[in-house]
Amino acid sequence: MKESLNYIYKEQKEVSIYGGIAALLGWDQMTYMPSKGSEERAEQLSLVSRLVHERVTSETLYNHLKKLNDVANSLTKKDSLVVTKLLRDVEKARKLPAEFVEKMTRTTSIAYGIWQEAREKNDFTLFQPHLEQIVELEKQYYDYIKLPGHPYNTLLDDYEEGMTVEVLQKEFSILRKQLVELLQTITTTERYQRQRPVPLTLNSIQQKESCSILLKHMNIPFDRARLDISTHPFTTSMGDDDVRFTTNYERGGFFSSFFSTAHEAGHALYELGILKGEYKDTIISNAPSLGIHESQSRFWENMIARSKPF
């Protein structure tokens, strides 16, 4: 049992290092990579994804995990949590052929470069065939994994473990009714109708300065994080002490970059703030839910940055 535990913790640690490497390859592609580096970057990313897949789906890991799962009751709470969650992910990954994982990574990586180009040229037809390929691959992904219920449950589960379309449809229908009512009440008030767009546009340098003031107030620790520029803002993490987020000053106006910076900084603070403790370098230490991630970033964007006192 001790041997099996050692093995699964060592494997999780290595997979987490691979994860940091893949995050850097992706971050660099979206921020600094010269455009012609795209093909080779796709090869680098698909190699890393294959290596991770090989480790995660190895017979040895699977056997150790099954052995541990059989005696889950005699494990500590931590070990038992790690074993259950890891076994679930491993069983999912074992349904995917290695070539499929490599192909998915290569396709989305190449598509990113094309998407950037298509966006710049405002020409969707450039991106369309790549998007079609990705949709096709997502359908194949569904065929491999096939969780019960609505087909989208399979895709949803990667971002919101255990969540289903059935549950969301029920929740959203209640929310929809109440939110539409609330919105109608707001938009018919005299005060709302009096509103005019704020006549404020700043150039890139001014946008950059205003974001830098914002980030100072948000207390971003810049020895553990950094802000860069990308076509579409995003946040990613190379490790516990290295979180990168981006913004974009090119788009018109001032509010777009200001609020997107607040939003991504919210993601960054969430990543930086996850106290890993004894779960460090285990599967449990990853942010568990995209819903919570978005709620943190939306909180900074909407509740704080858009608030009157702020």
> Which residues bind to a second copy, rule: CB under 8 A?
14, 17-18, 20-21, 24-25, 28, 32-37, 39-41, 43-44, 47-48, 51, 222-226, 228, 238-242
Beta carbon nearer to a second copy, 8 or 15: 15
Nearest 5°: CA angle at 255, between 176 and 197? Answer: 75
Shortest reach from residue 168's CB to a second copy, in Å: 36
Q: Is the dihedral of CA 114, 130, 234, 308 positive or negative?
A: positive
Shortest reach from residue 32's CB to a second copy, in Å: 6
In the structure encoding, which two tokens stand for residue 233, read together? 């803002």
Shortest reach from residue 23's CB to a second copy, in Å: 10
Q: Which residues fall within 8 angstroms of residue 261, CB to CB, at 6 or more apart?
A: 211, 214, 215, 227, 233, 247
Beta carbon nearer to a second copy, 138 or 228: 228
Beta carbon nearer to a second copy, 171 or 241: 241
Shortest reach from residue 226's CB to a second copy, in Å: 5
Q: Which residues fall within 8 angstroms of residue 97, CB to CB, at 6 or more apart?
A: 144
Beta carbon nearer to a second copy, 32 or 152: 32
Q: Cα–Cα distance between 156 and 121 in angstroms, integer?
A: 32
φ/ψ of 71, rounded to 5, equals -110, 25
Residues belonging to the active site: 264
In a 10 Å sphere around its CB, with 0-12 CB exposed, 13-18 middle and 19+ buried, how is residue 136 labelled? exposed
